[in-house]
Amino acid sequence: MPLLHHDKDDKELLLCFYKDGNNEWLGVLLQRYTGLLFGVSMKYLKNEENAKDAVQQIFLKVISELQKYKVDYFKSWLYIIAKNYCLMQLRGKGKITTEINDNILQSADNSEAIETHIKKEISLTQLEEAITLLNEEQRICVTLFYLQKKSYQEIVAETNYSMLQVKSNIQNGKRNLKIQMVRMIYNEQ
């Protein structure tokens, strides 16, 4: 692989991948974030071998997903993919997705706090999924405003949307997120 590829930023590498479909571009991106993926996997799975396996599975998922969807903010998107993968692994094994020490488990008084924390984790996962369902403009503006804490002016500068478009996308995106979250909750019951 030519050294030249390593000089490109994430957006340039993604654009090259979307342009010619060459997985070499993804290889550079994934190599760049292997440490992040391993760290996220260790945080949730607490086992080095399971974390290594998770990184490989996440690589495969990323290759598959990027062929279906256009991603603008690779690192944020990759983190969400990794976190969701690990949470699904834990749920599949019937493990709780939070760090709970023996003292908490022995205390009946804290069972409500544990349940609240689990519900919060599930809600955050649903929110991340709901964000992916927004249209591109709303997803970009909502992500920049709420997750990256950027101001309206910063979003205008970064996206080249007008101030009115930014405000509208944030407002409509927020409304659509609420609708999606209600649907997800309703579908669980």
Q: What residues does each domain of the chain span? A: 1-99, 110-189
pLDDT at 107: 43
Band the pLDDT of 89: cuts 50, 70, 90: confident
- The pLDDT value recorded for residue 189 is 45
User: Over the stretch 143-180, which tens digit does the pLDDT of each residue have?
Assistant: 888 877 889 999 999 999 999 999 999 999 999 988 88
> What local confidence, expressed as pLDDT, does residue 57 receive?
92
Per-residue pLDDT at 133: 85
What is the DSSP secondary-structure string of 92-156?
Answer: HTT--SS---HHHHH-GGGHHHHHHHHHHHHHHHHHHHHHHTS-HHHHHHHIIIIIS---HHHHH
pTM of the model: 0.49
CA 77 – CA 53 distance, rounded (Å): 20
CATH number 3.40.50.170 given to 110-189: no
pLDDT mean over 137-143: 90
Q: Is the pLDDT of residue 114 over 80?
A: no
Residues 52-67 have pLDDT tens digits of 999 999 998 888 888 7
Class for the domain spanning 1-99? mainly alpha
Phi-psi region at 94: left, alpha or beta (left = phi > 0; alpha = psi -120 to 50) = left
- Sign of the alpha-carbon torsion through 82, 86, 117, 175: positive
**Pairwise CA distance, residues 26 & 125, whole Å:** 25
